[in-house]
Amino acid sequence: MNRKAQGATEYLIILAVVIIVALIVVGVMGGIPGIGGGARARGTTSYWLTSDIAIPSIAVSSTKSDINVTLRNNLRNSISDLSIVIGGGSPLTCGQNSLASGQVTSCYGTKACAAPGDAYSYDVAVTYTDTATKASYTFTGEGQKLEGRCAT
């Protein structure tokens, strides 16, 4: 009789471990709303920090309907004719249109955001010219959207 109870207990423990591991995987992958969203946002932020034309910071205001973006040139060469469009519409106004390698500039414009704390997800298109080769490029983030939460 003790053997049957031991087998049933082992079965229940293994089943519980499998269910816990499955819930962790589903939560990390974003299958449960509110649990996995943080992992996706961290991944997006990491991508935009290390991309060729990096976006180290962004602020979208819900009360003023404005957007402030910081751009950094992560390329080896200097760039010129810099222009950025976020979420469609007109290009943002940047403090500098030419950046040396590692240099930073601030850009601003208008972008509506519903309410403080609401999530946003914008397509990004950055156009620039490599000053060494004189070639023009449009960087769209390889389909990676710019995601975050609206500020006040």
Asked whether residue 8 is assigned to any structural domain, the reply reads no
pLDDT of residue 36 exceeding 60, the answer is no
The conformation of residue 132, written as its DSSP 8-state character, comes to T
If one counts the domains in the chain, the total is 1
Span 6-24, pLDDT tens digits: 888 899 999 999 999 998 8
Q: Which domain holds residue 68?
A: 53-149
Residue 97, in any domain of the structure: yes
In a domain, 30, yes or no: no
In a domain, 75, yes or no: yes
Sign of the alpha-carbon dihedral angle for 132, 133, 134, 137: negative
**152/149 Cα distance (integer angstroms):** 10
Q: Which pLDDT score is estimated for 14?
A: 95
Question: Mind listing the pLDDT tens digit for each residue in 93-151?
Answer: 999 999 999 999 999 998 877 778 788 888 999 999 999 999 999 999 888 888 888 87
For residue 132, tell me if it sits in a domain.
yes
- For the four alpha carbons of 116, 120, 125 and 131, in that order, the dihedral sign comes to positive
Half-sphere exposure of 124 (CA within 13 A, CB side): 24
How far apart are alpha carbons 152 and 150 in whole angstroms? 7
Say if 84 falls within a structural domain.
yes
